[in-house]
Amino acid sequence: MNFLIKLILCLSLTLSPFVLSATYVNFDTDNNGLYDDQERKTLLDYLQAEYPELTANYDVDGDGAVSILEQTDGRLPLSMRIAKDEVENNDEKVTWGLNLFPEWIMTAYFQDDVEVGEVATHSSRGNSVRNATQSTTSLRPEKLSNNNGIEFTENSGQYLTMSGQREARWAYRWTIFTFRIDADSGDDDTTVMVDINRGNASNKSSPKIWYNKSTGLNIQFVGRNENGLDKRIMTTKTEVVADGETWNVIVTGIRYGQMFASVNGVNLSTESPQPERYANAEIGNDTSSYIGDDSDGNMAWAYDTLAFGLTEPTEAMVRKMTGWAAHRLDDSDNAINLPDTHVYKINKPVMDKEDFPDRYVHDNDQWTEWGSSINNTDVKTNGGGSPVDIEGFERVFYDDFRSDRVKASYSGESDLWSAPGFNTAVGSSATLIAPNDTTNVYEYDESEQKQSLSLLKVNDRWKAAAFYSVNDLGYGYTWKGPKIFRIRSMFPEVAQADLAGGLFPAFWSYDPDFLFWRTANRIEVDWFEFDGKNGTWLNGLASHYHYAAVDNIFAKSADSYKSYKAYSGQLTEAKSKIEGGIEFWDGEYHTWEFVIDDDMTYINVTIKDTDGNDKWVEVGRVTTPPTYLERLDLQLDYALRSWDGEPSSDREDFTIDSIEVLQKTSNIMALPDIFTSRPVITGDQTEGSTIICQANVEGITDIRYYWFANAYPLTYTTSNEYQITSDDVGKNIRCMVKAVGALDMPEAWTESIRVPADNTPMAPSKVKLLKSS
């Protein structure tokens, strides 16, 4: 460490009143919880000395300060450039600030950004600028002095408005709100302090925060389920101080389908149990958000911070944000209003592993080298031959469509397949629609146990279908690391001359990470895409690294990344070496298999042998790029590109018989550190009995339980209990535990237990894992 850094460190220690077991270094010299440009320069000088991978000239203009743009321009965010293990093993802990890693702040309002006097405009910070304004002088709140907040006079009807956030369900994953309120003031019983996307509909007034003189503090999120609106409200009068002087801290949001809220360091709960899952609908442009109540009977109140941000914070991060806000409001050794047991009652939060989630770090040189190396000869080196024998995988997911499980993706009722998904552009010339009772593009054949996706012409307009293994918020079934995706499907027999050129069905994946980090580039892999222009043409393994959902300085433009396709060509016998070739619209079921191993990725498919039985052949292969090994969902759709020709019929079907996923046994049986031991299933293994999945997770309360029978997904739930049904008899039951309240949401599997057909319980220790190739 050089002399300057040592000097800074000593000064920091002198300024800091906090004593930790590790050395505590404080570069937030004004102790306001935010890093200004001068403080950021000092911080980065220190971090470069500690972590050489950060070495760079950040102060580009040489003014002795580093802006967020200078810190980030041409570089990945700090949280993606420092290894979390390095941070944890470093004895010197850096004071945490909300903008220490600014990429995760979407829109934020701090009283620091307002001058003393009437507040006509409160400028926002973050990736999405939405300044809060008030044009009417009499309705403007006021900042009377520094550090005392933006104040709303009682019975004044003062408020600020800002444009609505259409993407709030993705972009406002968490909220920090610090306020004080005088419950003895005002003529009205209720005063609304925050109302985002005000209205009475799914995704409206979410969050909405108000104080009622009888019930106390209320926090609301509104989703949608099969019963209509899914309103979730948490209320407390005991955990909030309403004397007009004392600051209160709220940290709230939705985490993997469950609302959470911490008020002054105490976790709240809803009066009745929350529904198992949560989703909400897209909203239009015509919406506004409010800080304050436009009723003229409001109580007197004030706010210090209102911040909204990306990703879903861990339980530890909620505590950290609470501690940050509490110490920002009270710079004494005792954080205001936090319980004595709170981890940040005395000490300010520091930079730690919670700031370093596992994220995909893109190497564009490696990506370009991989894509440029793809050539037709290597891809087809074993075309038409027997597939390579892949060992060490086992089946973890298998849907044979024994029941109709396709539900609306914007509704909490979906616990398997979600339709039509969050990407409304997928249908191309046709409009994607959700399952409904009048226009059925998701026809389910109960007798044959087949699920169809269709293009349907309704009043001269085409409707399209798509379903995903995750809902619109990204909750559901995803798979990381080496994996095998299989789909058995069929298109009706249609001669090439009768095919509509615009037909465009696909089987593909996203990494849902971009739903949680709207500043991140998006990974897409198209396993197969067929088109009606040529019914033998396979677009296979089209690989994309796309633009971010929100324009920002933390992700490169998609223009700087090329897309690559491993297989692009006809599957005629002459071109593919596959005996007899393949026409996709042939009225036959084919099973497509995509084997993503650590080193190589293979496309395999079944054809008919001379006896009419399925026979596996290899289509092509390519070296596995890092994107394929990321966490991916599964998506299916039937799109129409009308410029290439529309069908003469009114309906085109894509029929699915089964979908299957395999993963490496060694990977799924690895035990993440958060687990004290492998999860286990306990209880009687008989029909009608309730079994329990014991998570064996320490220090985490927010957990999801995924239940399977012979790899068939039964449900996922917040409950660790499952009642064995008659359908489960003779099958292997297994539970996957997902610790969603922990960093990176780690997963661990139980061993299987068998429900014997004769109702004789079998000891779990004697049951072998279900394996399938």
Which one, of 481, 737, 516, lies nearest residue 631 by Cα? 481
Return the pLDDT at 288. Answer: 96
Of 18 and 162, the one with more pLDDT = 162
Q: The domain at 383-665 falls in which architecture? A: Sandwich (2.60)
pLDDT at 224 over 90: yes
User: How many C-alpha atoms does 559 have within 13 Å on its Cβ side?
Assistant: 2
pLDDT at 156 over 50: yes
Return the pLDDT at 335. Answer: 62
* pLDDT mean over 380-404: 97
pLDDT at 766 over 50: no
Return the pLDDT at 23. Answer: 84
Structure tokens that stand for 19 in this block: 């004593």
Residue 153 — very low, low, confident or very high, per pLDDT cuts 50/70/90? Answer: very high
* pLDDT mean over 720-749: 98
Residue 18 — very low, low, confident or very high, per pLDDT cuts 50/70/90? Answer: very low
- What percentage of the chain has pLDDT greater than the value 70? 94
Of 349 and 762, the one with more pLDDT = 349
For 179, residues 6+ apart whose C-beta sits below 8 A from its C-beta are 149, 193, 247, 248, 250, 301, 302, 303, 304
Return the pLDDT at 286. Answer: 84
70-101: per-residue pLDDT in tens? Answer: 999 888 899 999 998 999 999 899 999 999 99
The CA distance from 172 to 285, in Å, is 16
pLDDT at 334 over 90: no
Interaxial angle between packed helices 37-50 and 3-15, expressed in degrees from 0 to 180 and rounded to the nearest 10: 120
* pLDDT mean over 503-516: 97
Return the pLDDT at 759. Answer: 53
546-570: per-residue pLDDT in tens? Answer: 989 998 998 877 676 889 999 999 9
* CB contact at 8 A, 633 and 422: no
* CB contact at 8 A, 251 and 321: yes
> What residue ranges in 532-679 does DSSP mark as E strands?
534-546, 564-570, 590-596, 600-608, 614-623, 635-640, 651-664
Structure tokens that stand for 248 in this block: 């209160």
pLDDT at 337 over 70: yes
- pLDDT, the chain, mean: 93
The CA distance from 519 to 222, in Å, is 25
673-701: per-residue pLDDT in tens? Answer: 999 999 999 999 999 999 999 999 999 99
* CB contact at 8 A, 122 and 129: no
Give 448: exposed, middle or buried? Use CB within 10 Å, 0-12, 13-18, 19+: exposed
237-294: per-residue pLDDT in tens? Answer: 999 999 999 999 999 999 999 999 999 999 999 989 999 999 999 898 889 999 999 9
Return the pLDDT at 602. Answer: 98
Return the pLDDT at 285. Answer: 82
For 437, residues 6+ apart whose C-beta sits below 8 A from its C-beta are none
pLDDT at 13 over 70: no
Structure tokens that stand for 639 in this block: 């799109």
Return the pLDDT at 773. Answer: 37
* CB contact at 8 A, 386 and 578: no
The CA distance from 249 to 519, in Å, is 27
Q: Is the model's pTM score more than 0.85?
A: yes
Of 764 and 739, the one with more pLDDT = 739
CATH assignment of 102-355? 2.60.120.200
Structure tokens that stand for 335 in this block: 């954080």
310-321: per-residue pLDDT in tens? Answer: 999 999 999 999
* pLDDT mean over 166-191: 97
Fold of 669-766: Immunoglobulin-like (2.60.40)
* pLDDT mean over 401-429: 96
Same CATH topology for 383-665 and 669-766? no
Which residue ranges make up each domain of the chain? 3-94, 102-355, 383-665, 669-766
Structure tokens that stand for 254 in this block: 């939705």
The CA distance from 40 to 53, in Å, is 17
pLDDT at 765 over 70: no
For 321, residues 6+ apart whose C-beta sits below 8 A from its C-beta are 98, 174, 176, 251, 313
